[in-house]
Structure 1
Amino acid sequence: MTEAVAPLILLAAGGTGGHLFPAEALGAELMRRGLRVRLVTDDRALRYSGLFTPDMIDVVPSETVRSRSPLALARTASLLAAGVLKAYGLMRRLQPRAVIGFGGYPTLPPLVAARLAGVPSLIHDANAVMGRANKFLSRHVSAIATSLPGVLDHDPSLAARTTLTGTPMRPAILAAAGVAYAEPQAGGTLRLLVIGGSQGARVMADVVPPAIERLEPVLWPRLDLVQQVRQEDMARVRAVYDRLKIRAELQPFFSDLPARLAACHLAVSRSGAGTVAELAAIGRPSILVPLPGAIDQDQFANAGVLSRIDAAIRIVQTDFTPDRLAAEISALAAEPARLAAMAERARSAGRLDATERLADLVTRVAGL
């Protein structure tokens, strides 16, 4: 007698951490519940070394709209069409019970193919403003999950199919969330974490060192600074901190970022959806600098979720000057109780059960 094969759930995500980490967290929970999972993505995810091993990954052609020129649009359309064709073949061969999309253009082909093949589908959006790919898919899927409240309140027809789940968190974030915030002592060490990501580290290298230099010299010995710095900026950033005798650890990438977040008194960062969700889950005060130039201003809206409850200070990039940053750090350093209150308010916005909530929704959509 053949043993029954567990139902399969396909997870579709763009090949960046912001999409892959929530997909990984959900995948681990679905596997814990006895289901099989596979990842459908673009070729960037082949460098990924988390839950999804190469034999669990299906690469499907995709493309982002990079230009409005007829030639570029035709190329994008042809790649997406090829992706839909390949993804449709996967639906026929793998017979998944549901397809879950986490945003980004690489989710378009598998989610469109799921609709064509009659497979139930769901999208998860981590931002305060829904991304363009998810916006297109939202009217064609069985259900919608969001990380933040009110994302689709402007559209009652979509809001009726929307469930607020939060952002599924990696185990390392959940572990970091168990570390209580240690309010800095008056005159004691102030642990400052500066992270920028691939599109933010340059501005941090330009603004943070001169901001530290503008602090009252009595603050310099108190600082314990950890900063993400691109290799090409390393020498100039290091030179400033060495001259000021600042304790500083500088790296292009921190593999243990959740633990670094848990250890800091204050974070200075971009406001990508994943970062904002992690700051809330762990409960840490922050100064957030949204990435400018985005069509839908998603990072500005993400930062607003924490700034509205006084858990973060949002500074648009045009106002993110050494003088402004120095003033904010000085004020916060002088008010440890305010930092602790910001940490508590950030934690109140976190959703540590997001993975279970999303997994419950997935099983309902899949009819399991």
Structure 2
Amino acid sequence: MDAAPLILLAAGGTGGHLFPAEALGVELMRRGYRVRLVTDSRALRYTGLFSKDTIDVVPSATVRSRMPWSLAYTGLMLGYGVVAALNLVRRLKPAAVVGFGGYPTVPPLIAAKLRGVPGIIHDANAVLGRANRFLSSRVSAIATSLPGVLDRDPALASKTTTVGTPMRPAILAAAAVQFAAPEPDGALRLLVVGGSQGARVMADIVPGAIERLDPSLWSRLVLTQQVREEDMARVRAVYDRIKLSAELAPFFSDLPARLASSHLVVTRSGAGTVAELGAIGRPSILVPLPGAIDQDQFANAGVLAQADGGIRIVQKDFTSERLAAEITTLAAAPARLAAMATNARKVGRLDAAERLADLVAKVAGIS
């Protein structure tokens, strides 16, 4: 098995980067290749496909400020990372290096370029992230989740392939669960999530929206909400006041199954979340994270909104009154929820891991 080609997967230490890397890793291993993960120290807490003996940590830093001292620190750390990655690539001799975004991908892909190893980047967003944008001219191939991402740049478009977002096995299992629209007077399953760290805006807005619903809807509502520990007491107090039984937790380890069992999802619109909603096919109300330089979450939400698989509400318009109105309208229209689920599913790609593995094998010359 040691003679099998080795593919280095490089990813930032968050779920949005690690989950697609894991999904590709599963597919590459199924084909008989070896895989290792190159990342930052955050991923040492990760308990998925990669064990600690298959994870290589390289120094890196994120651009957090335009202040000269901050830029100098980031540059210094990335320089250290490139030196470490050069030694790693020299020692491991990978057939290719595949990056999934985040600044921890910069050192290994620069090292790959310097040592003549094919490099590939994958971007799950509707616009390239900053790290991937920096790397885009320095890699052999670019894979995107969505079409048209680089159409305005002919030099990059010529080496770009749309593959979708590779899905971990739990999402593929959830995608097999068909959407069942709620009965007119039956349970309405509402899931509220805010990303890997939770979103305070959900704690600020959702309880007030639920309180504004007609009391006849309270008896139908089956609410599951991701809530940060520091917000738990105030959120729980609202639901206790209206005698609504809600499941609240800072984190749900079985989130794919919960997505599959939901009639409506209220969430941020990170690339991974939007891709999973498309793969599973569930209606959503999407609240893009404001203030991002690239407005990537706004663009991601637009993909589902334009397909009529989701409703995009910018944060300044995301009020308890607006959310209550949207929930009330959708609760009274099960046929529309079913249509939204179907439309969201059309956006998703369940074969993305296979398509990306084909591209990796082709670029690495091991197909």
TM-score category (smaller protein): over 0.9
Give the structure 2 partner of residue 353 of structure 1. 351
Q: 1:10 aligns with which of 8, 14, 21?
A: 8
8 Å contact from structure 1 (residues 122, 144) kept in 2: yes
Question: For 1:86 and 1:168, how far apart are their aligned partners in 2?
Answer: 28
User: After superposition, where does 1:1-368 map in structure 2 within 5 Å?
Assistant: 5-198=3-196, 200-368=198-366
Question: For 1:353 and 1:200, how far apart are their aligned partners in 2?
Answer: 29
Q: Extract unaligned runs of 5+ from structure 1.
A: none
Using the size of structure 1 for normalisation, the TM-score is 0.98
Question: For 1:211 and 1:66, how far apart are their aligned partners in 2?
Answer: 34
Give the Å deviation of 1:197: 2.0
Give the Å deviation of 1:10: 0.3
What's the RMSD between the two structures over aligned residues? 0.9
Question: For 1:4 and 1:72, how far apart are their aligned partners in 2?
Answer: 42
Question: C-alpha offsets along residues 168-219 of structure 1, whole Å, 9 cap, x if unaligned?
Answer: 0010000000000011000111000000125552100000000011111111
Question: For 1:225 and 1:4, how far apart are their aligned partners in 2?
Answer: 49
Change (3 A) 1:200 1:253: closer
Question: For 2:146 and 2:120, how far apart are their aligned partners in 1?
Answer: 16
Change (3 A) 1:28 1:141: same
Q: Secondary structure of 2:143's match?
A: strand
What is the one-letter code of the residue matched to 2:67?
S
What is the one-letter code of the residue matched to 2:55?
I
Q: Secondary structure of 2:138's match?
A: coil
Question: For 1:209 and 1:73, how far apart are their aligned partners in 2?
Answer: 41
What is the one-letter code of the residue matched to 2:121?
I
Question: For 2:325 and 2:86, how far apart are their aligned partners in 1?
Answer: 55
8 Å contact from structure 2 (residues 198, 250) kept in 1: no
Question: For 2:178 and 2:154, how far apart are their aligned partners in 1?
Answer: 39
Question: For 2:2 and 2:85, how far apart are their aligned partners in 1?
Answer: 25
What is the one-letter code of the residue matched to 1:183?
A
Question: For 2:359 and 2:342, how far apart are their aligned partners in 1?
Answer: 29
Give the Å deviation of 1:242: 1.3
Q: Secondary structure of 2:17's match?
A: helix
Question: For 1:198 and 1:90, how far apart are their aligned partners in 2?
Answer: 30
Question: For 1:72 and 1:264, how far apart are their aligned partners in 2?
Answer: 43
Question: For 1:148 and 1:30, how far apart are their aligned partners in 2?
Answer: 22
Question: For 2:197 and 2:326, how far apart are their aligned partners in 1?
Answer: 23
Question: For 2:146 and 2:160, how far apart are their aligned partners in 1?
Answer: 11
Question: For 2:140 and 2:239, how far apart are their aligned partners in 1?
Answer: 53
Give the Å deviation of 1:246: 1.5
8 Å contact from structure 1 (residues 87, 109) kept in 2: yes
Question: For 2:51 and 2:120, how far apart are their aligned partners in 1?
Answer: 23
8 Å contact from structure 1 (residues 208, 322) kept in 2: yes
Q: Extract unaligned runs of 5+ from structure 2.
A: none
Q: Percent sequence identity over matched residues?
A: 76
What is the one-letter code of the residue matched to 1:119?
V
Change (3 A) 1:64 1:320: same
Find runs of 4+ consecutive structure 1 residues off by over 4 angstroms.
none
What is the one-letter code of the residue matched to 1:313?
I
Question: For 2:204 and 2:267, how far apart are their aligned partners in 1?
Answer: 14
What is the one-letter code of the residue matched to 1:293?
G
